[in-house]
Chains A and B, each alone.
Chain A
Amino acid sequence: MILTLLSHQWKSFWRGRNAARSLATQIFIGLLIAYLMASILFAGLATGHILNKAFPGQDTVRIFCGFVLYYFFIDILLRFAMQELPVLTIVPYLGQNIRRRQMVSFLNIRSLFHFLNLMPLLFFAPFACTDMAVHSGKLAAAAFITAIVFIMLFNNFLILYVKRRTIINVWWLVGFAVVMIGIMTLDFFHIISLSGWSSKLFVALLAKPILAIVPVVLGLAAWFNNYRFLLTNLYLDEGARSEKEKSSREYSWLQQLGLTGELIALEIKLMLRNKRPKYIVRLSALFMFYGFVFYNKHYLSDQSMYIILFFPALFLTGIFIMNYGQFLFAWHSSFFDGLMASNISIPAFIRSKFMLYNAISTTIFIITSFYGLITWKILVIQAAGFLYNIGVNSVISIYLATFSYKAIDLSRSATFNYQGIGTVQWVYALIIILVPYAIYYPLAKFVSPWAACAVIGGLGLISLLMQSYWVEVLTREFQRRKYLMLAGFREK
């Protein structure tokens, strides 16, 4: 029975909407995953060598053992962020003649299919099989691998349990955060030493392989605990988050802008109240710190580096257009029918998109202007990038968005979510970054960076002044592909 359920999961993975993406995307993701796994495996294989080089003459196995607890500590944090609770997958089965025990076992086994459960094996097993086996014997290495597998299981089920608890009672989340931050702080100030404990524990394990029984017991206990909890809590309504009261909000400052303001308010609510766009907004905010990577003395002292500095300037000021803009209309896919049948004219709709870009990009520009405190030159480059972004890239963004016919489910989380991504999105990223760079680069290289800034900024400004003309053009383009968008968005 559990096998049947797992085979359904397999089908749902391949037949799900996420799988129905273009071949190019599939190949890309496939390569990405293969690359990641190969990197980890390679890191695992090279560890012995690297440690020998870094700590010559020292006991590499002991040092290696010092890493293990760190790894599993980070593993816990990663799991908390990434591992999803496969609860909803059982909804269709609850009414069928399947025993609860089987369903719970299925949920537990299902949770094991996660790349975080593959990583430790890829990383630790090579070292264990080579250096460790030579150093402490095959039996010890086998005990080590056993311990790794069961600590991994322990983490897996512990986190599932904690996450389920936090859904029901938010204090679990607070407790979890306190414990984690506590450990980090204590370790940071050397009050406790994770690496010290780690090497002590695992060196002891290698000396006495029978000690592997401890992690085995821990892993099984975590599994059993989760099993027992699920068995008594397999009710739908309890799994659902205790809903917070939702209240209406009005942005009075936007209402003065009339219909445009109303549409922007709609867009802001879309960003704040839905999982995936919210993630994009947070990401955009985070990227504002990107400047610290590039704007340092090393780069700024060298005149020729201003050729490269245009990249972060363009990126910083256009981050919102780049990220949010790739699904500009697709964000509305769940109610696009209603939007198009309602009393909103297409030009007004397009105009509101321009306003949104202008408003948010200006805000970002003002905030990132603080980088100007480092040197005024940054300000000049960023101003050029900003003008180009709201002048030219905004038009390109809206134009390309009319070619995006794939629906987006707002409520799905954004990590590794390739729903709605097609050829257009790849083209989009390229055009928005490469075209201005192609203009900037030769000018900056052969004339001067300032001339290049002037040209880029000038182009942006001219295009910005033409915005009402662009609205006409884009309205025509929008009308031309409106039915394709409508049909695409309806296919959920």
Chain B
Amino acid sequence: MITITDITKSYNGNTVVNIPQLEIATGEIVGLVGNNGAGKTTLFRLMLDLIRADKGQILSKEKNVAASEDWKNYTAAYLDEGFLINYLTPEEYFYFVGKLHQLSRVDVDEFLQRFEAFFDGSILNSGKYIRDLSKGNQFKVGIAACLLQKPELLILDEPFANLDPSSQMRLIKMLKELPAQSRMTVFISSHDLNHVTEVCHRILLMEKGRIIKDIDTTADTLQELEMYFEV
């Protein structure tokens, strides 16, 4: 699905991302962990062609993301509020995103029914613009809009950080079930080691722009990660 070769990005002489080689296979659920400033969000932005790499390339389905726009057809991402059009109501935003993927309003409505529990009654028909929603609810809108696109590649930046405990559980459940049904490739970052080891098949540990550990999740993974982050 994704092939990263020799990619580097630095700001003012500080190397933020430096990955010689990384492959992500179709259907994999990959978790990215690391402290603040490790370069997780920068890596995601590079994958979405939102910043230009100093060197190297990222291929998505064998096509360079910086050269072709084909990846936009099958990639959905939510990194922060900068992905939401904040003056729309949630419904308007969902219809807009749906339209970009040739989904009619009926399709969108039908799809959103599945999110009733996740939304907990505070998003649809709330009479608010997205900018007036709480951060957690904005995040839910972002995640739902991603899944609505039925993406082959899903990228989420710290999806658990702003959610309440029940929503976290629901999201974990969705992230576990959805890829199994549709061969979706998922790439998420998280500070929550428990959740990330529960969801992901494979964990990448990032430090100062480098991937210093690449482990397949086993029963010992959580302990291994906790050892690393121990102060």
With beta carbons under 8 angstroms apart, the residue of A246, A262, A338, A341 that contacts B75 is A341
Instruction: Note all chain A residues with C-beta closer than 8 A to B132.
Output: 243, 246
Q: Known: A247-B89, A343-B149. Is A337-B83 also a contact (CB below 8 A)?
A: yes
Q: Is the Cβ of A335 less than 8 Å from the Cβ of B50?
A: no
Instruction: Note all chain B residues with C-beta closer than 8 A to A336.
Output: 82
Measured CB to CB, the nearest residue on chain A to B99 is A262
Instruction: Note all chain A residues with C-beta closer than 8 A to B101.
Output: 343
Chain B 82-102 near chain A by CB (<8 Å), digits 1 or 0: 111111110110011101110
Q: Is the Cβ of A259 less than 8 Å from the Cβ of B99?
A: yes
What's the least CB distance linking A402 to chain B, in Å? 15
Counting contact residues on chain A (CB < 8 A from B), the size range is 20 to 34
> Once the chains are docked, how many angstroms separate the CA of A246 from the CA of B50?
32
What's the least CB distance linking B88 to chain A, in Å? 6
Measured CB to CB, the nearest residue on chain A to B11 is A487
Q: Is the Cβ of A341 less than 8 Å from the Cβ of B77?
A: yes
What's the least CB distance linking B121 to chain A, in Å? 16
> Once the chains are docked, how many angstroms separate the CA of A319 from the CA of B103?
37
Instruction: Note all chain A residues with C-beta closer than 8 A to B81.
Output: 334
A248 proximal to B (CB < 8 A): yes
Q: Is the Cβ of A486 less than 8 Å from the Cβ of B72?
A: no
What's the least CB distance linking B128 to chain A, in Å? 6
> Once the chains are docked, how many angstroms separate the CA of A262 from the CA of B105?
13
Q: 7 closest A-B pairs (Cβ-Cβ)?
A: A338-B83, A245-B127, A337-B82, A483-B52, A273-B87, A341-B48, A343-B100
Instruction: Note all chain B residues with C-beta closer than 8 A to A487.
Output: 51
What's the least CB distance linking A254 to chain B, in Å? 11
B79 proximal to A (CB < 8 A): yes
A345 proximal to B (CB < 8 A): yes
What's the least CB distance linking B139 to chain A, in Å? 13
Instruction: Note all chain A residues with C-beta closer than 8 A to B52.
Output: 483
A303 proximal to B (CB < 8 A): no
What's the least CB distance linking A168 to chain B, in Å? 18
Q: Is the Cβ of B84 less than 8 Å from the Cβ of A335?
A: yes
Q: Known: A262-B96, A341-B48, A344-B100. Is A246-B84 also a contact (CB below 8 A)?
A: no
What's the least CB distance linking B43 to chain A, in Å? 14
> Once the chains are docked, how many angstroms separate the CA of A274 from the CA of B132?
13
Interface size on B, residues (CB 8 A): 36
Q: Known: A266-B96, A269-B92, A335-B82. Is A345-B72 also a contact (CB below 8 A)?
A: yes
A490 proximal to B (CB < 8 A): yes
With beta carbons under 8 angstroms apart, the residue of A247, A249, A266 that contacts B85 is A266
> Once the chains are docked, how many angstroms separate the CA of A344 from the CA of B72?
8
B73 proximal to A (CB < 8 A): yes
Chain A 236-277 near chain B by CB (<8 Å), digits 1 or 0: 000000010111111000000001001000100110011000
Q: Is the Cβ of A269 less than 8 Å from the Cβ of B84?
A: no
Q: Is the Cβ of A342 less than 8 Å from the Cβ of B100?
A: yes
What's the least CB distance linking A47 to chain B, in Å? 48
Q: Known: A269-B87, A410-B87. Is A341-B92 also a contact (CB below 8 A)?
A: no
Instruction: Note all chain B residues with C-beta closer than 8 A to A334.
Output: 81-82, 86
Measured CB to CB, the nearest residue on chain A to B155 is A341
A181 proximal to B (CB < 8 A): no
Q: Known: A243-B128, A341-B75, A342-B72. Is A248-B83 also a contact (CB below 8 A)?
A: no
* Pair count A-B, CB < 8 A: 86
B49 proximal to A (CB < 8 A): yes
Instruction: Note all chain A residues with C-beta closer than 8 A to B80.
Output: 337
Q: Is the Cβ of A338 less than 8 Å from the Cβ of B84?
A: yes
B69 proximal to A (CB < 8 A): yes
**Sample of 7 more A-B contacts, CB < 8 Å, known A245-B127, A340-B50, A343-B100:** A246-B89, A334-B82, A337-B50, A339-B85, A340-B49, A341-B77, A483-B51
Q: Is the Cβ of B83 less than 8 Å from the Cβ of A335?
A: yes
A346 proximal to B (CB < 8 A): yes
With beta carbons under 8 angstroms apart, the residue of B69, B82, B85, B128 that contacts A345 is B69
Instruction: Note all chain A residues with C-beta closer than 8 A to B129.
Output: 246, 273
Chain B 35-70 near chain A by CB (<8 Å), digits 1 or 0: 000000000010011111000000000000000010
Chain B 123-144 near chain A by CB (<8 Å), digits 1 or 0: 0000111011000000000000
Instruction: Note all chain B residues with C-beta closer than 8 A to A343.
Output: 72-73, 100-101, 149
Instruction: Note all chain A residues with C-beta closer than 8 A to B87.
Output: 269-270, 273-274, 410
A sample of 25 inter-chain contacts (CB < 8 A) reads A243-B127, A243-B132, A246-B89, A246-B128, A247-B89, A248-B89, A248-B92, A248-B95, A250-B95, A259-B100, A262-B99, A266-B85, A269-B88, A270-B87, A274-B87, A337-B50, A341-B48, A341-B50, A342-B100, A343-B101, A344-B72, A345-B69, A346-B69, A487-B51, A490-B82
Instruction: Note all chain A residues with C-beta closer than 8 A to B96.
Output: 262, 266
> Once the chains are docked, how many angstroms separate the CA of A246 from the CA of B69?
35
Measured CB to CB, the nearest residue on chain A to B128 is A246
Q: Is the Cβ of B97 less than 8 Å from the Cβ of A342?
A: yes
Measured CB to CB, the nearest residue on chain B to A339 is B85
> Once the chains are docked, how many angstroms separate the CA of A182 from the CA of B181?
70
> Once the chains are docked, how many angstroms separate the CA of A263 from the CA of B81?
19
